[in-house]
Structure 1
Amino acid sequence: MATNNPAADQDTHFFGDVCKNFDYAAQFTKHDAGLLDQIKSCNSVYRFRFPIRRGNGFEVIDAWRVEHSQHQSPTKGGIRYSEMVNEDEVMALAALMTYKCAIVNVPFGGAKGGIKINPKNYTIQELENITRRYTVELIKKNFIGPSIDVPAPDYGSGEREMSWIADTYATMNPGQLDAMGAVTGKPIALHGIAGRREATGRGVAIAIRECVSVGEDMQKIGLLPGISGKKVIVQGLGNVGYHSARFLAEFGALVVGLCEFEGAIYNEDGLDVEAVFQHRKATGSILGYAGAKKEFKNSHDGLEQPCDILVPAALENQITEANVKNIKAKIIAEGANGPTTPEAEAIFYKNGGIIIPDMYANAGGVTVSYFEWLKNLSHVAFGRMNRRFEENTNLNMVNMVEGITGVALTPLQRSTIIKGASELELVNSGLEDTMIRSYHEIREIYINNPKIGTLRSAAMVGAINKIAVSYQNLGIWP
């Protein structure tokens, strides 16, 4: 059924688009048709409504939780707070989570949640009531638990909401030692993990850096290898977009454009990401930033400015048949879920571009959520058991070398060598290793079968093969 909102109409095809990508990739595998159908389908779709008190009356809230695949347990996926969310979107995002976890070798099935509200229209107390009631509904139907289904933040939600979920779950499950493992993305003080907040953006930046480091691939699209000096436009200055831009700048890229819903800014000589962020925080808009040479009232105009790399890190369906021909970037790195339609992707590849697919590019969040889940189950922070031992071992080695050589190190040199790894450093190391290994797994599939055509299809082929093995190990398929 059509609506008066074109974006909403397009969203009703999101799950279909994911299934199209699956079907195309499936032809490059040798699995039974029934097994492929099982992998593709959503196992459980829970749609529910609940009332909350507002003022002197009540409001009924629509909500969903979808568990796409239980080939690995628990299932895992964020909860989206948006007035645009619908069942099709939640199903699509749950499916993407399944494939995403497989791509980066995280042992979860895919899930996703949605609450149909605009958080800006509610007080903190009302948001807490909605979140806690949503959690209660999940508990009643056994749709949440450290070994069942583990939610996380998504668009419109964050650490605060996850802390409410954790507290509600623990309250309704007294004595459960692993209760904090029922949700990830929690504040550090409530058994969260260092590095989770910026994990998705850091993962996007690492994915881009790895992609542009392959000289052979860059030569084909007319770019020099290496991230240094690459001009980047980022759409979205939320958690993913902000951290993607910040880490890309740290790696040596030049962030020339930033786009938000209120408009876009551009400067071919580069923008100070932190300064733009603070300007928006103070004024409510990126427009009016003194360091911008161009401003656009229409955010989508910002996507079409000259750059080497475009990072859509806002919402889905941002690059379509209507605007893809105006995109000047050679590489699109999908920080958001589903920002490029299949039709637009086909045109972009035909014109010689590369798309780093969302299933891989934005998997940093679930990777570090996995680390947080492991921390909650083990009840020990990373580095706590071995950091001092490492430092003492390194100190003994330094003292021995100094004694043998007679060369004294400076205090800075000593502290650099002696230092043991903190939780944040271990998390970032694990994330970087995951993103680098996964990229080259995808690229190897892509290179070894030219008919696959895109990195997205190559990633999907790899995911299907891994999920199929899991089902076969369960004894369901021979």
Structure 2
Amino acid sequence: MAQETEGKQFLNSVHRYFDEAARHTDVEPGILAQIRVCNSLYKVNFPVEVDGKVTVFEGIRAQHSHHKLPTKGGIRFSTHVDEDEVVALATLMTFKCALVDVPFGGAKGGVKINPRTTPVEVLEKVTRRYATELIKKNLIGPGVDVPAPDYGTSGREMAWIADTYMTFKYGETNALGCVTGKPVGQGGIRGRTEATGLGIYFGLREALQDTEILNQLGIEPGLRGKRMIVQGLGNVGYHAAHFCQQDGVLITGIAEREGGIFNKDGLDVEAVFKHRKESGSILDFPGATNIANSLDLLAYECDILLPAALENQIDVHNAATIKAKIVAEGANGPVTQEAEQILLKKGIFMLPDLYLNAGGVTVSYFEWLKNLSNVRFGRMGRRAEEASLKRIVDLVETTTGTSIGARERAIIISGSDEIALVRSGLEDTMILAYHEMREIMRRKPDIKDLRTAAFYSATEKIAVSYQSLGIFP
């Protein structure tokens, strides 16, 4: 028998998570079968002229579930993109959206290309041509399927896709809603860049207030003073580490492709990020010890291990060496299903990707709403809110005969702008989802971990959606 690819292993792992959660539900088996399967998969080979020669690129777009429209999911550029990986990621998106009550079905896409070695002008050609192929098949649009950035892509690629879509759909007033993660000046939303990392921070903060769990782990409440090792200093890992460090977390180790660095007294995330930008590597950071194999760093002692790079980073070969008390999945699928069983038996608390990195799609939802309404959040209400708060402060000062300072007054009467509203919505989403999972664990004693609780919650919601469509009895 041929050895399974990493993508196939990833997909099988996601299916096993679903199957485990499904057995705790009372959902009719036929509906469970529909929820499990990927609804549609489109693969296309398209030509692009590169240096005067035609090169053929492979693109994939999977729409896992149409129980709600549009479907939603990122586009990754990588030479390792394959069908099973894309379907696995689309499947996770379905359950992720349902868990945090974002009304999208799950999708994912990818193009086999190396974004680091490909010239920008070629990347633009490939991106626009890939978008054109999706448009021709009606596989993209604000009410159909809404892509977003993922590994190897950014707001730049999303802007190219939006521009290409608007060229074909001239006059469509909701056209900017065809994709999220765009630059703010091109229809994006403030707070999207750091959304996934900030969501991780909110999720960790909530978990570190759960005294029932903390007593089992033998650690004190709160993030302050906790030691954290971060794998991946990309957009997700950097922002998660940044917000956690601001709240008193000690970042003792950072792992990247080129190796890892460690300092038991803590690393300045901003300084490390700047060092890598200037030198091209996190290695040789002043005061830190270099770790040649970055995977070795995952086995160092810490309170929180945050794998925020790629999938399958913790597997059966290294799971037993993990000494963290909490493993927080910042990336999609960084821990294999077999490895998770080892970690759970060791008493390690798992914060699953399905929940923890849902910040990106949550704020993408806000961006999509902004594009459909064609108005910036806070534009209509901010000044009215400030005027109302000013009247209250004036009344308090008049009644008490006491004036507050100008700085304090400005803080009190400040109205909510777009980024404040976005972060508030994200914070509320992460708090509610955490307590929903924990409540399921209390109601269903057979469900022993957050991942199963997350899949259970999502499955129940998706089943209700299918039943409401009248497709099933």
TM-score (norm 1): 0.98
SS at match of 2:146: strand
Instruction: Verify: 1:299 aligned to 2:299, yes or no.
Output: no
Residue in structure 2 matching 1:345, options 340, 350, 354: 340
* One-letter code aligned to 1:277: F
SS at match of 1:317: coil
Instruction: Verify: 1:271 aligned to 2:258, yes or no.
Output: no
Instruction: Verify: 1:23 aligned to 2:19, yes or no.
Output: yes
Q: Please list, as runs of the form range in 1=range in 2, the aligned pairs for 1:34-183 lying within 5 A after superposition.
A: 34-183=30-179
Residue in structure 1 matched with residue 384 of structure 2 by the alignment: 389
Q: Is the 8 A contact 2:330 2:356 kept in 1?
A: yes
Unaligned 5+ residue runs, structure 1? Answer: none
Residue in structure 1 matched with residue 190 of structure 2 by the alignment: 194
Residue in structure 1 matched with residue 356 of structure 2 by the alignment: 361
* One-letter code aligned to 2:444: N
SS at match of 1:120: coil
Q: What whole-Å deviation, never above 9, does each CA across 1:179-198 have from its counterpart, x for those lacking one?
A: 00000000000010000000
Residue in structure 2 matched with residue 475 of structure 1 by the alignment: 470
Residue in structure 2 matching 1:322, options 313, 317, 320: 317
* One-letter code aligned to 2:319: V
Instruction: Verify: 1:449 aligned to 2:444, yes or no.
Output: yes
Q: Is the 8 A contact 2:73 2:108 kept in 1?
A: yes
Q: What whole-Å deviation, never above 9, does each CA across 1:122-160 have from its counterpart, x for those lacking one?
A: 111100000000000000111000000000000000000
Residue in structure 2 matching 1:460, options 449, 455, 462: 455
SS at match of 1:135: helix
Q: What whole-Å deviation, never above 9, does each CA across 1:419-451 have from its counterpart, x for those lacking one?
A: 101100000000000000000101111222232
Instruction: Verify: 1:9 aligned to 2:5, yes or no.
Output: yes
Superposition misfits of 4+ residues, deviation over 6 angstroms: none
Instruction: Verify: 1:255 aligned to 2:283, yes or no.
Output: no
* One-letter code aligned to 1:259: A
Q: What whole-Å deviation, never above 9, does each CA across 1:40-66 have from its counterpart, x for those lacking one?
A: 100000011101111131211011000
Residue in structure 1 matched with residue 305 of structure 2 by the alignment: 310
CA distance in 1, matches of 2:58, 2:322: 37
1:2 Cα deviation (Å)? 5.2
**For the structure 1 residues 144 and 325, does the alpha-carbon distance in structure 2 shift closer, same or farther, using more than 3 Å as the test?**
same
Q: Is the 8 A contact 2:7 2:83 kept in 1?
A: no
Residue in structure 1 matching 2:415, options 411, 420, 430: 420
TM-score (norm 2): 0.99
CA distance in 1, matches of 2:180, 2:116: 23
Q: CA RMSD in A?
A: 1.0
CA distance in 1, matches of 2:287, 2:133: 48
SS at match of 2:5: helix
CA distance in 2, matches of 1:291, 1:273: 13
1:302 Cα deviation (Å)? 1.1
CA distance in 1, matches of 2:7, 2:31: 27
CA distance in 1, matches of 2:391, 2:220: 45
1:76 Cα deviation (Å)? 0.3
Q: Is 465-474 or 443-452 further displaced after alignment?
A: 443-452
Q: What whole-Å deviation, never above 9, does each CA across 1:338-357 have from its counterpart, x for those lacking one?
A: 00001110010011011100
Instruction: Verify: 1:236 aligned to 2:204, yes or no.
Output: no
CA distance in 2, matches of 1:340, 1:401: 55
Unaligned 5+ residue runs, structure 2? Answer: none
Q: What whole-Å deviation, never above 9, does each CA across 1:385-427 have from its counterpart, x for those lacking one?
A: 0100111111122112111211011001110111101100000
CA distance in 1, matches of 2:125, 2:259: 33
SS at match of 1:119: coil
* One-letter code aligned to 2:284: G
* One-letter code aligned to 1:270: G
CA distance in 2, matches of 1:389, 1:300: 53
Residue in structure 2 matching 1:212, options 208, 211, 218: 208
Q: Is the 8 A contact 2:7 2:88 kept in 1?
A: no
CA distance in 1, matches of 2:44, 2:300: 43
CA distance in 2, matches of 1:87, 1:431: 31
Q: Is the 8 A contact 2:158 2:181 kept in 1?
A: yes
Residue in structure 2 matched with residue 433 of structure 1 by the alignment: 428
1:220 Cα deviation (Å)? 0.4
CA distance in 1, matches of 2:121, 2:249: 42
1:9 Cα deviation (Å)? 2.6
